[in-house]
Structure 1
């Protein structure tokens, strides 16, 4: 099954949710829709599912126009952020419910329910009610109910967002194996760049109801087409620094100047924006070619096993992502170092000119 969306527009109460969205999805492929809250991810999934109808545009499934066809008449399964289970039914019956509604034989229902339950480690829980399960087990049940249908279109709307870190890691790994074994189109939405990279496949980067870039996930991560994609597909967001090329160097501010080395040599005089990911900003000089600044720490965020350190020097604001826990007092002075070959370069319109050759 292939799915094609052409020039989809959707507004609610005169508020634009989707604008000129065109997308072609191939059977057996995985698509990660990445975007911040209100980017239009859920609106797009609801139109794919047939839960909503676009204001304009068409949806084709295997070449057939299904734009106005309801979800009940489509070969689709969907998992939501908030797990939805029938509280009075056992886990077995929750998983089996779509098959019973479709008139599948009892023997086939039993085979498919037990198979998917084993895959999602629910087989010891089939006789329990949802209220007796943890949040993670209830979400597994909702995912199992979607998988058991064996639909050609599987939509997952931030299915792990309400789970704790350990459960998210476990389910992410399990889902990747499940997706690889299926011939269906899988569409998975997330706000997290790290999750998009882990899930792999193809990524669709969205912002304010529009698609910004589509491609293989690592390729889009390493070669964002513009500043907005670089910002959305980076956690924390990419550091952006205004720059002026003068002679054989880039003047970033009184605090920092960068020699034009590597691909930067091809830049002519003028105004640019340099970008560098937080993971490529360091507290110690690693190479002779590294350039540095000494700035004032405005914030030091400990995030699990990493620390995000915010430093300002004039118009330059940098965030460094350091492994481990670093307790650094706000207001203290701290050196930071960047290698010029790690810079992304964007033109005056925000379009990419240069991307580092090294993979982040």
Structure 2
């Protein structure tokens, strides 16, 4: 195991900047997710850490060793790509064994390690099959086994669940969490789906348009997103963002969202602008009973309801503003149905309209 430091790394392709002054550190033995939308630069960053690509500027350290210009074969890194890339003419056993065979490891040692990693991934019954005889989930397990057999210092995963269907992805997250817990090691996992990050990672690096927006534990970044972009990237569904105008009435400071007013007088020392964005997470919207206190409500119209497994994502229209609500059970609502959803004041986020930076949570100031 080893820590990984990326310092001021930049990379261009055909004049286009893919990574822009990227800096972060991955702790020895930790599981860190690099989370960002498609095109954020995640794959390029992993390839630079692996030594397959080299940065135009900046440095890569494994522990205290500068490995920036050391090629991949000398870094003891294992990488699993988005595509499984198994050798079609080889049985599963030989696919898993291939990194060791290339190194000239004795056959008895290869056999021992293949059996060990196959047991870890519960694929011992597949060793005699060819890739064409595997399901998507089985093929991904084989690709992961081939990476793990190297006993690398650093394991890199480039969105390995992306090409699997919903149910397989769901079960594989649980499997990978178990495997990584038993394996140990320093793991860097690129993801565009925040569920991968929530389910498996300890730490997260938010990457957007080639820049690092925020780093920290998953919980720290989730509860205190630095800006609007982070609030939408580390969220599923993305945070609802509503424009608001600051109004001063005597000694009262009010944020007005299309007629829904919030008293923010306790935050007046932080509120120096005229326009803001109020953020409400979809899981913080609920159907009110009338007994709740310190809430705001949105009389809305149902657009559509998405059922994902045993959960529902309800799309709503409120005064021309699109809202999303997460409901932890199956809830079937008809398009056009009228209803009221509410949110507790303590769960609101207030962002600057000018630059998108987080100014405060309603219940707590942000330093």
Normalized against structure 1, the TM-score is what?
Answer: 0.92
Deviation at 1:356, TM superposition (A): 6.2
Deviation at 1:58, TM superposition (A): 1.7
Partner Cα separation in structure 1 for residue 300 and residue 343 of structure 2:
13
Deviation at 1:62, TM superposition (A): 3.2
State the secondary structure of the residue aligned to 1:84: coil
Q: 2:281 corresponds to which residue?
A: 277
Partner Cα separation in structure 2 for residue 162 and residue 146 of structure 1:
18
Q: How does 1:31-50 map to 2 (within 5 A)?
A: 31-50=32-51
Deviations 1:256-295 (A, max 9, x none): 112348x657654743221110111123246132221213
Deviations 1:104-130 (A, max 9, x none): 222221111101101111111111211
State the secondary structure of the residue aligned to 1:151: coil
Q: Is the 8 A contact 2:350 2:362 kept in 1?
A: no
Q: Name which of 328, 332, 343 aligns with 2:333.
A: 328
Q: 2:117 corresponds to which residue?
A: 116
State the secondary structure of the residue aligned to 2:286: coil
Deviations 1:118-155 (A, max 9, x none): 11111111112111211211111110000010100100
The number of residue pairs the alignment matches comes to: 357
State the secondary structure of the residue aligned to 2:256: strand
Normalized against structure 2, the TM-score is what?
Answer: 0.90
Q: 1:207 corresponds to which residue?
A: 208
Deviation at 1:227, TM superposition (A): 1.1
Deviations 1:224-271 (A, max 9, x none): 11111001111111111122333435333344112348x657654743
Q: 1:73 corresponds to which residue?
A: 74
* 1:291 partnered with 2:292: no
Q: 1:306 corresponds to which residue?
A: 311
Partner Cα separation in structure 2 for residue 253 and residue 31 of structure 1:
37
Q: Give structure 1 regions of 4+ aligned residues with deviation exceeding 6 angstroms.
A: none
Partner Cα separation in structure 1 for residue 243 and residue 31 of structure 2:
37
Deviation at 1:354, TM superposition (A): 2.1
Distance 1:266-1:322 versus aligned 2 partners, 3 A rule? farther
Q: Is the 8 A contact 2:50 2:77 kept in 1?
A: yes
Partner Cα separation in structure 1 for residue 117 and residue 362 of structure 2:
43
Distance 1:75-1:312 versus aligned 2 partners, 3 A rule? same
Q: Is the 8 A contact 1:255 1:313 kept in 2?
A: no
* 1:350 partnered with 2:356: yes
Q: How does 1:183-262 map to 2 (within 5 A)?
A: 183-246=184-247, 247=249, 248=252, 250-260=254-264
Distance 1:97-1:357 versus aligned 2 partners, 3 A rule? farther
Deviation at 1:213, TM superposition (A): 0.6
Q: Is the 8 A contact 1:255 1:294 kept in 2?
A: no
Distance 1:125-1:298 versus aligned 2 partners, 3 A rule? closer
Relative to structure 2, which stretch is displaced further, 52-61 or 14-23? Answer: 52-61
Gapped runs of 5+ residues in structure 1? Answer: none
State the secondary structure of the residue aligned to 1:302: strand
Partner Cα separation in structure 2 for residue 337 and residue 249 of structure 1:
21
* 1:318 partnered with 2:323: yes
Q: Is the 8 A contact 2:11 2:20 kept in 1?
A: yes
Partner Cα separation in structure 2 for residue 14 and residue 101 of structure 1:
37
State the secondary structure of the residue aligned to 1:20: strand
Q: Is the 8 A contact 1:18 1:44 kept in 2?
A: yes
Deviation at 1:296, TM superposition (A): 3.1
State the secondary structure of the residue aligned to 2:48: helix
Partner Cα separation in structure 2 for residue 356 and residue 99 of structure 1:
56
State the secondary structure of the residue aligned to 2:279: strand
Deviations 1:181-237 (A, max 9, x none): 345220011111122111131101111111111101111111111111001111111
Gapped runs of 5+ residues in structure 2? Answer: none
Superposed CA RMSD in Å reads 2.2
State the secondary structure of the residue aligned to 1:244: strand
Deviations 1:74-131 (A, max 9, x none): 2111001111111111111111111111122222211111011011111111112111
Relative to structure 2, which stretch is displaced further, 89-98 or 342-351? Answer: 342-351
